[in-house]
Structure formats: structure tokens, C-alpha cells
Amino acid sequence: MRLILTAVIAVATVAIAACAAPATQPTIVRCAVINGMMDTDFWPQIAARFEKQTGIEVQTVAFGEKETLDLSFRDGGIDLITMHSSDKIINLVADGLAMDPQPWCRNDLAIIGPTNDPAGIKGMASAADALRKLAASGQPLVVHASIGAHGVLRSIVDANDIRFDPKNITMLFEDRQREVLKVAADKHAYTLIGRIPFLTGKLSAEGMTMMVAGDDALRRPYLVALANPNRVAGARVEAARKLARFLRSEETQKWIAQFGQGKYDARPLFFPVEIDPSN
């Protein structure tokens, strides 16, 4: 009888403890995301797909331009960050705050110019051919000195031995694309800015039209990086790692290749990257 009573008390104690114990909290990954991915609904849709597959909740706790994301990540409370490949995200890694930076998708730039197109490059398929013709025309070119537009331009002109007369180039250290486009419009000049914000109308300037788009050479990669748990208190590394793997998975890459296709033009809004399946 005593054994039965002891067993009943033990079961009751376990039941009471179970009722008193807090419910298991859902796994969460906190993210900082570049603005363009939010404006196009690209990131919210990817997050929803990840949540459905894994049950891990994605909280986008910071979004904006890369300067905003950099400061937010340094303040802590973020497990995963994604932005264009740039000094900002690499410096987070170099400073020990982030780790494992990997490319997972691309967007692209477009060459924008005056509606009357004095250089005669509108509709050209090759960015290199268009830039060579632009250089030969002597028409002005405005470039922002960020690693984005300047890096893309430099890689194209170096690879194709294109030479611009320095007097026709205006280099801006202000890398806000809206200001760059305004300066180009004021100078009746050509420039390079993001295809997506120009197509969506987020960036516009009177008298400026898209000239050249769609060349792979105009694409820029995005990186994803994880918070370093040795430097970021409370970093949820495993959940963040699962999300990073999901972003680079074959399934997600195929989805990226068709996202937004036909909405503004025949191309998707973002582009997949080549990933070694062994990684």
C-alpha cells in the first residue's frame, strides 16, 4: 500500500511540475536586412518559407541602408545580417562581431541616362560595349564611389580596356542613390544605379531613362553573416546557421531565379548564385 501511495504521489508531483513549468518558447532568429529586400517583399516571402519548413520564427528587427544595419548589428540583439558585399559587412567580420560571410543572391545595376540619349547607347545588350561607346562620345558620367557602383564600373572597364577622359567623370562620395541620380540629371549625364529601385519608381528623376540593363556584368552579390557568439551576447547561432543554409539551398536558389519575373520586366528581381553543393 505504501509503495502504491508513493507512486501516486510521485506521479502527481510530476504532473504538477509539468503544469507549473513554462511552455516551451518558439525558436527565433533575429535578422538585419537591407532595405531593397524589404521593399520588394523578397525577404518577407523567404522568411515565411523558412518558417513553414522549420518552425523557426524569423524576426526582422532592423532594416534599412547598410549604415543603419551596421550600427544596429554593433548594438547587439541580432543573429543574422544580410547586405551587399561591402566594407561594412566585412568589417563586422574583421572586428570579430560577425562570422561565416557567404554570398547567397545578387541584384543588378542599370545604366541610366538622359532621355534624348546623346551617347546613343539605349537598348544595347552589352554593358561593356555601351560604356565603350559612352567613353568615346565624351558625354559626362556620374559615379558614386561606393564599392557597389564604382566596383562594378571598374571591373567592366578594366576587363575591357575602356578609357574615360577624367574631365568627363564626376565621382561622388555621397553614395545615396537618390542624390547620385539627381546630380546626374542636373548634369545631363549618365550614371549607374540599382535596376530595382528605378523600375519600381522609388528612384526617379525628370529627364532620366533606363539605357542598359540585363548584362550579368552589372550584378552585385549579397552576403549573409552570423553573429559571433563569443562577442555577441545571446546570439542564436544554430537558428541563424539554419537560416543561412536555407538561403543557399538549391530549393531557395531556384525560387530566387523566378521571384518577381515579369512584374516590371522579363527578368527576376534578384538572381541566384553558383553554390558548390559540397559546401
* Domains annotated on the chain, with CATH: 107-218 (3.40.190.10)
Residue 30 above 50 pLDDT? yes
Q: Which amino acid is at 218?
A: L
User: Three-state SS across 143-197?
Assistant: EECCCCHHHHHHHHHHHCCCCCCHHHEEEECCCCHHHHHHHHHHCCCEEEEEHHH
pLDDT score recorded for residue 135: 97
User: Three-state SS across 228-276?
Assistant: CCCCCCCCCHHHHHHHHHHHCCHHHHHHHCCCCCCCCCCCCCCECCCCC
Angle at 40 between CA 240 and CA 46, to 5 degrees: 30
Give me the mean pLDDT over the 48-55 stretch: 97
Residue 24 above 70 pLDDT? no
Average pLDDT of the chain to the nearest whole number = 88
Q: What is the pTM of this model?
A: 0.84
Residue 160 above 80 pLDDT? yes
User: Which of 243, 241, 7, 215 is CA-nearest to residue 131?
Assistant: 215
Type and span of the H or E element at 201? none
pLDDT score recorded for residue 200: 84
Q: Read off the pLDDT band of 146 (50, 70, 90).
A: low
Residue 20 above 50 pLDDT? no
Q: Please give the residue that has the higher pLDDT: either 113 or 65.
A: 113
Residue 66 above 50 pLDDT? yes
